[in-house]
Amino acid sequence: MPSYKAPVDDFKFILNDFLKVLDHSDLPGFDALDSELIDQILEGGAKFFEEVWAPLNLPGDEQGCTLENGIVHTPDGFKDAFHQAAEGGWNALSVPEAFGGAGLPGILSSCISEMGNSANQSLAMYGGLTGAAMMSLMYLGTDFQKKVIVPKLVSGEWTGTMNLTEPHCGTDLKLMNTKAVPQEDGTYRISGTKIFISGGDHDMTDNIIHMVIAKIPNSEGKLENNLGTVNFFMVPKFLVNEDGTPGARNGVTVGSIEKKMGIKGNATCVLNYDNAVAFKVPEDKPEAANEQSGEKKSSASGMAGMFLMMNGARMGVGMQGYALAEVACQNATIYANDRLQGRSLSGPKNPDGPADPIIVYPDVRRMLMMARSFAEGARALHMWLSFTGATAVKLETQEEKTAVGEITNLLTPVIKGYLTDMGFTSTNAAMQCFGGHGFIREHGMEQFVRDSRINQIYEGANGVQALDLVGRKLFANGMVGTNAYYGLIDKEIADAKDQNGLKGMSESLATGLSHLRAATSWVAENALQDREQAGAASYDFMTMFGTVSLGFMWLKMMAVAQSQLDAGAGNAEFLKRKIAHGNFWAQKMLPDTASLLEKIKTGGDVLMELEASSF
């Protein structure tokens, strides 16, 4: 059975040394932090997820979820483990105290969420979208929803879901058929079918709060093929009484559980809505109705609620990418040090044994260092972005604050797309280290590969993320975010230019950034003439953008590590290992930007020349 050990030392390095969170006690939530509390949270979380959640991962995959007489049953042990996490407050660290949480900075929740996903992604997903549902209601819900429903989600008594996809339509929301008919009492009645709903039903809590998008029909009762009629709704599995107890069963049932290749411990459901009572989020205001026809259309805040939830989910899925890379790499490293086979190319390294461990081989080291440098670089990027957003309130000008918001928008599709692509590549490489044993279930590696593969697809397939990056985010608002982000990388390169031990990394990153700028210019020049060129370039561009972004993080981390080594501070072995993995990214990953640029510049003609019938 695979093992898991939370990377507590790396979390502490990022929080204390890289981001210096304790220097921001003037911010809400940060004022409660000290090094002792950070240690207690990280070490307590590590113990819980290592000992309680991780042992359920392999058996949960083997048992899966079952549907019997309309009731979904989760794998043995899941319900108890889920409630232990809720009782320990692990799901509510960053929820405001007014809603029953601890009110600590979100960056600490990032650490805990990663632990949960590394230990058991299937189980973690039941709480993952609960957090997204909770956030949408927290910001946009009615007083009743905020006072009664949100605390139930915070406590873990209830869970939440996000319902977007339908059998005939995924990303193209205009094609939806799910209908929400307004009622005289201000509620709506929703009918339709949603598929691929993670945690859509289960036996772990008393109620489930479904967040659903649906179209409001026009005055003739017909659905229009446009986004203007798409709205955001809350649909409880059981209607909620005034005192917060579950009431009558609502009109939502489980049609089936999807039979899928991974995350089998999570019930991915087909949900059928049959005249279910729904509540618009935010609720209708008088001005939301058309003065002449009385038709209710989508409000900007309603769509904002949907995107708030969706973008939060995309950041979470990006985390799942490196969370699985982390645990897969850990197990591959253990195996590579234990497995004896052949002799080192430079002579025996285990002369008293029958063979050397496979860790002596350069290609095994390549796979391990790729997975490790990716996981640590991705973790740093995710946490840096979260921290940058949290501390933006301290910036002096509105222009600076706007730039931070644009950088977040810019990086969201990269985090979802590139981090899950590389997460799968890393878990696959870790499985490869096991040779034939990698395919044997008891080692758990093939499960990590299967589980990580879905992360590239759900919450917007990665090709869609790439198109979003190039088509919407890259040139948005006069490229404020793009130029600001490139400027941050420029500054980091300049600051590192004369620092001990950073010359190779800074030069490699500078070259990668020059390639990224050249690709940006090429897309800008060619997409205006032919939009297909932007689409053809988008995936390679996202990959290049992600590669450079992790290089940016590695240069920043290497600067911290090298300065500590020069000062004789910190754990020298940890710091040297950090620098070695940064140099790997500089020498073995960043050079890929050259070939990616060449592929982008070839354009999209070769992709579009064949007629559809020729495929």
Which amino acid is present at 56? L
CB 211 within 8 A of CB 281: yes
Q: To the nearest whole percent, how much of the chain has pLDDT over 70?
A: 97
Q: To the nearest whole percent, how much of the chain has pLDDT over 90?
A: 87
Neighbours of 608 (CB within 10 A): 12
> Buried b / exposed e across 155-190, counting CB within 10 Å, b at 16+?
bbebbbbbbbbbeeebeebeebebbbebeeeebbbb
Residue 299 confidence (pLDDT) = 54
261: left (phi over 0), alpha (psi -120 to 50) or beta: alpha
Q: Could you tell me which CATH class the domain 159-284 is placed in?
A: mainly beta
In CATH, what number does 303-460 get?
A: 1.20.140.10
pLDDT digits (tens, 9 = 90+) for 344-395: 999 999 999 999 999 999 999 999 999 999 999 999 999 999 999 999 988 8
The band of 228, judged by pLDDT with boundaries at 50, 70 and 90, is confident
DSSP 202-253: -SSSSEEEEEEEEEPP-TTSPPPSSGGGEEEEEEESEEE-TTS-EEEEPSEE
Query: How far from 205 is each of 52, 67, 605, CA to CA, in Å?
Result: 19, 16, 53
Residue 285 confidence (pLDDT) = 73
Residues 6+ apart with CB under 8 A from 536: 603, 604, 607, 608
**Chain-wide mean pLDDT for the chain?**
94
pLDDT digits (tens, 9 = 90+) for 492-518: 999 998 899 999 999 999 999 999 999
Which amino acid is present at 509? L
Give the range among 143-157, 282-296, 322-336, 588-602 with minimum mean pLDDT: 282-296
Q: Is pLDDT at 225 greater than 90 in this prediction? A: no
CB 106 within 8 A of CB 94: yes
CA 181 to chain centre: 33
Task: Give the position of tokens 């232990």.
Answer: 84
Domain map (residue ranges) of the chain: 8-64+76-143, 159-284, 303-460, 476-606
| Active-site residue, from 87, 459, 598, 611 | 459
Judge whether 459 counts as a catalytic residue: yes
pLDDT digits (tens, 9 = 90+) for 245-301: 999 999 999 999 999 999 999 999 999 999 999 999 998 875 544 444 445 555 555
Q: Is the dihedral of CA 347, 351, 356, 357 positive or negative?
A: negative
Task: Give the position of tokens 């960056």.
Answer: 107
Among 412, 366, 330, which Cα is nearest to 585's?
366
Q: Is pLDDT at 417 greater than 50 in this prediction? A: yes
In this structure, which topology does domain 8-64+76-143 adopt according to CATH? Butyryl-Coa Dehydrogenase, subunit A; domain 1 (1.10.540)
Residue 300 confidence (pLDDT) = 53
Residue 295 confidence (pLDDT) = 53
pLDDT digits (tens, 9 = 90+) for 15-71: 999 999 999 999 989 999 999 999 999 999 999 999 999 999 999 999 999 999 989
